[in-house]
Amino acid sequence: MTSNGFKSPAPVLPAMGLHSFHNDSPPFNGAGIVANPEPEYLSLDDSQTLPPRPQARPFGTSSQSAQKVTQMTTFPREVDLSVSNMVAPMPIRIGSPLIDPQGQQGGHHREVSNTDENISLSRSRRLVSGYMFGNPPSPVDSRPPSTAEELYHTPPSLGRDSPPLVDPRTTQVSPTESEEAPFDVEETIGEGSAQLSRKKSEKSRDRETGYDALNGLNDGEADLDESAPQAEGSTEAYLRGAGGEAGQYGFPRHRLRTTMKDESKIPIVIVACGSFSPPTYLHLRMFEMAKDEILESQTYEIMAGYYSPVSSYYKKSGLAPAVHRVRMCELAVEHTSTWLMVDPWEAGQSEYQRTAVVLEHFDEMLNSQGGGIVMSDGKKRRFKIMLLAGGDLIESFGEPGVWSEPDLHIILGRFGCLIVERAGSDVWAFLLSHDILYHHRRNVIVIKQLIYNDISSTKVRLFVRRGMSIKYLLPNSVIQYIYDHKLYRESEVKAVTQST
């Protein structure tokens, strides 16, 4: 019996229109196929349909975000509110439910106390950080929706972002291998290591070793891959508010794919928002789990993944200064991944930015300013942007005062969400119980953790403070950075008290 009272959630969800995730279902059968309207190509003039977006600005300058929020939460008028228009007739496959090996739910302590040990373990920690320390700033218009239209409004861009361009089931697309090798591989491993000195294209390595960064195979080679594109310039100057060119914000594109292998799919960019204090192997694994799920769905093609560390204005216990967290995320992906990047924009803002605003920023950079992605026929297509989050974060959608309803419609409706199950949170029960989440369920993909990983940043910080080993919990480069910069040595409660 699960904590939500179901013997098993399996019999319930399919009857409610969700894809069966019962254990005896073929795990990856017919995945992720949505209805097939005509493809919509990128219109660079979206001023009619999209709310205003924030402009990137250097650290330390004042923000207009309060005003932006008000504007953003006013939905455009030209919307078809009929439910049939909002819900695609073909269900998106959603992964399997959380099944605790011991048959139990809820492995976490959730009590809130004033000790740093407990603060972040609590599911209510967002409330703790939100109210005790004045953040996150309240979701703006948190009044309840007054009409059904307001509640079930799906912004028009959902239609543009969501549908596949061609039905992958009926279109025979020969997987034309891209002739373009995104980067050349030149590996020279130093003394004491296997001496490797070779220059190969990603494509030729693909043939020989099965290595294919975005298609999921043997990505372990990335650890040796000194030539994977690295971020240019210093995000530190931007984050420290340095003037001049060095301090300018630049959206990282060095690992963003510029062509699609299979143009019948939807180009997707995954964005993970969070503290990452510090980033751990779990945070890296989240992207890989998402990648596997997306590959199986056959609907999307991943073009890149981004971390967006929250700014220092998010007064959460244990938050190292943003400049350190951004750098640690960069180190974490530098030589371990070929498709993940770190966007410092959110971290460099002079006040807290809500997640909906952060996703708007990505849309601006990738689609409005960036022009989307150019197809082989020269037409442009928008990147679909999806938020990647753990089950606990999603459950906080239901905590009063933490997320505004208009924001949730933007996040779940206009963008979409990849939810990684987290031990202790019952995503399935929550999906059923939360009106807005359920309404947008076809734009939500739940990812089962086939190997449970519950590495916790909170515990890593505590280990550091207690002088315990954190090796194999996070990349060595991040461990070194923590020690070099003497991070996480102070009691979190003490540190928070002193900084306020």
Ligand X SMILES: Nc1ncnc2c1ncn2[C@@H]1O[C@H](COP(=O)(O)OP(=O)(O)OP(=O)(O)O)[C@@H](O)[C@H]1O
Ligand Y SMILES: NC(=O)c1ccc[n+]([C@@H]2O[C@H](COP(=O)(O)O)[C@@H](O)[C@H]2O)c1
Least distance (Å) between residue 116 CB and ligand X: 10
Using the minimum distance from each CB to ligand X, give the nearer residue, 200 or 422: 422
355 binds ligand Y (CB under 6 A): yes
Contact criterion met (CB below 8 Å) for 312 and 321: yes
List the interface residues with ligand Y, window 283-302 (CB under 6 A). none
Using the minimum distance from each CB to ligand X, give the nearer residue, 92 or 270: 270
One of 21, 152, 314, 383 touching ligand Y (CB under 6 A): 314
Residue 290, C-beta contacts closer than 8 angstroms, at least 6 positions apart: 270, 305, 388, 418, 420, 445, 447
310 binds ligand Y (CB under 6 A): yes
List the interface residues with ligand Y, window 123-162 (CB under 6 A). 126, 136, 139
- Residue closest to 367 by CA, chosen among 274, 412, 299, 303: 303
Pick from ligand Y, ligand X, none: which does 403 bind, CB < 5 to 8 A by kind?
ligand Y
Least distance (Å) between residue 185 CB and ligand Y: 34
Least distance (Å) between residue 353 CB and ligand X: 14
Name residue, tokens 């948190």: 142
Calpha distance 385→364 (Å, rounded)? 11
The token pair at 213 is: 């960064």
Calpha distance 296→29 (Å, rounded)? 9
Pick from ligand X, ligand Y, none: which does 407 bind, CB < 5 to 8 A by kind?
ligand Y
Contact criterion met (CB below 8 Å) for 356 and 273: no
Pick from ligand Y, ligand X, none: which does 298 bind, CB < 5 to 8 A by kind?
none
Calpha distance 420→427 (Å, rounded)? 9
427 binds ligand Y (CB under 6 A): no
Pick from ligand Y, ligand X, none: which does 322 bind, CB < 5 to 8 A by kind?
none
461 binds ligand Y (CB under 6 A): no
Using the minimum distance from each CB to ligand Y, give the nearer residue, 11 or 107: 107
Pick from ligand Y, ligand X, none: which does 126 bind, CB < 5 to 8 A by kind?
ligand Y
List the interface residues with ligand Y, window 90-129 (CB under 6 A). 126
Instruction: Give the SS3 label for residue 176.
Output: coil
Entry field: residues in the chain: 500
Calpha distance 328→276 (Å, rounded)? 8
Pick from ligand X, ligand Y, none: which does 314 bind, CB < 5 to 8 A by kind?
ligand Y
Pick from ligand X, ligand Y, none: which does 283 bind, CB < 5 to 8 A by kind?
ligand X
How large is the C-alpha radius of gyration of the chain? 22
The token pair at 284 is: 């890296």
Q: Half-sphere exposure (CA, 13 Å, Cβ side) for 17?
A: 12
One of 19, 123, 153, 316 touching ligand Y (CB under 6 A): 316
Return residues touching ligand X (CB under 6 A): 120, 272, 274-277, 282-283, 286, 318, 389-390, 392-393, 420, 422, 454, 456-458
Calpha distance 454→286 (Å, rounded)? 11
Residue 190, C-beta contacts closer than 8 angstroms, at least 6 positions apart: none
Calpha distance 443→92 (Å, rounded)? 8
- Residue closest to 451 by CA, chosen among 310, 218, 222, 286: 286
The token pair at 246 is: 């060095």
Calpha distance 261→267 (Å, rounded)? 10
Pick from ligand Y, ligand X, none: which does 43 bind, CB < 5 to 8 A by kind?
none
429 binds ligand Y (CB under 6 A): no
List the interface residues with ligand Y, window 264-283 (CB under 6 A). 273-275
Binding mask 372-401 for ligand Y (x = CB under 6 A): ---------------------x--x-----
Pick from ligand Y, ligand X, none: which does 402 bind, CB < 5 to 8 A by kind?
ligand Y
Least distance (Å) between residue 355 CB and ligand Y: 4
Least distance (Å) between residue 232 CB and ligand Y: 25
Calpha distance 128→166 (Å, rounded)? 46
- Reply yes or no: is the peptide bond before residue 278 cis, omega within 30 of 0: yes
H helix or E strand, kind and range, residue 373: strand 373-374
Pick from ligand Y, ligand X, none: which does 305 bind, CB < 5 to 8 A by kind?
none
Name residue, tokens 């909002």: 86
Using the minimum distance from each CB to ligand X, give the nearer residue, 91 or 136: 136
430 binds ligand Y (CB under 6 A): no
**Which of the ranges 6-14, 100-108, 326-334, 402-410 carries the binding residues for ligand Y, by CB under 6 A?**
402-410
Sign of CA dihedral 287, 401, 151, 422: positive
Calpha distance 296→32 (Å, rounded)? 8
Q: Half-sphere exposure (CA, 13 Å, Cβ side) for 275?
A: 22
Using the minimum distance from each CB to ligand X, give the nearer residue, 98 or 185: 98
Using the minimum distance from each CB to ligand X, give the nearer residue, 214 or 418: 418
Using the minimum distance from each CB to ligand Y, give the nearer residue, 139 or 182: 139
Calpha distance 100→105 (Å, rounded)? 6
Using the minimum distance from each CB to ligand X, give the nearer residue, 10 or 98: 98
Least distance (Å) between residue 12 CB and ligand X: 23
Pick from ligand X, ligand Y, none: which does 282 bind, CB < 5 to 8 A by kind?
ligand X
Binding site for ligand Y (CB under 6 A): 126, 136, 139, 273-275, 310, 314, 316, 354-356, 393, 396, 402-403, 407
